[in-house]
């Protein structure tokens, strides 16, 4: 398809998308950028945020992504994410409870290593919450 971009979105767990799309808005390390057919080759690191896919039909599909990178070459876009989940699968109430638990666990941490791991988890959960707010 001449006016389409081949998207491959994968995480360590599974392939999340493999299809022709109109465009993809990417949360890159240095800011968001949009990839459309004919885009120049690029390699970018992902930052936590919402990957917005504009389907051929014009509908929009959103994924929360964290870690990994994006490569674009010859109308093929590969997104290799350390973590990716469809935004519609996130439950806001459950997420708020997870954040409360993570904050309590962080207060009860017994050493620096445990504190570091718990702080990373809390940051991750807060990034998910932010993605829900901004991605909706």
Sketch the domain layout of the chain as residue ranges. 5-88, 90-135
Give residue 136's pLDDT: 56
Please calculate the CA angle 73-38-60 and round it to the nearest 5 degrees.
Answer: 95
8-23 pLDDT, tens digit each: 999 998 999 999 999 9
Give residue 132's pLDDT: 80
Third-level CATH fold of 5-88: ATP Synthase; domain 1 (2.60.15)
67-123 pLDDT, tens digit each: 899 999 999 999 999 989 898 888 888 889 989 999 999 999 999 999 999 999 899
**pLDDT top residue among 93 and 41:** 41
* Integer CA distances (angstroms), 111 to 36, 100, 105, 116, in order: 47, 20, 12, 9
Question: How much is the mean pLDDT over the chain?
Answer: 91
């Amino acid at each position: 398809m001449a006016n389409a971009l081949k998207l491959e979105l994968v995480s360590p767990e599974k392939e999340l998308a493999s299809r022709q799309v109109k465009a993809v808005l990417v949360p890159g390390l240095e800011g968001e950028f949009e990839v459309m057919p004919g885009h120049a080759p690029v390699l970018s690191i992902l930052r936590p945020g919402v990957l917005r896919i504009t389907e051929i039909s014009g509908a929009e599909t959103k994924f929360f992504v964290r870690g990994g990178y994006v490569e674009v070459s010859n109308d093929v876009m590969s997104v290799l994410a350390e973590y990716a989940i469809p935004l519609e699968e996130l439950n806001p109430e459950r997420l708020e409870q997870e954040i409360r638990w993570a904050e309590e666990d962080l207060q009860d941490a017994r050493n620096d290593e445990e504190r570091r791991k718990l702080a990373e988890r809390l940051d991750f959960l807060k990034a998910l919450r932010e993605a829900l707010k901004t991605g909706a």
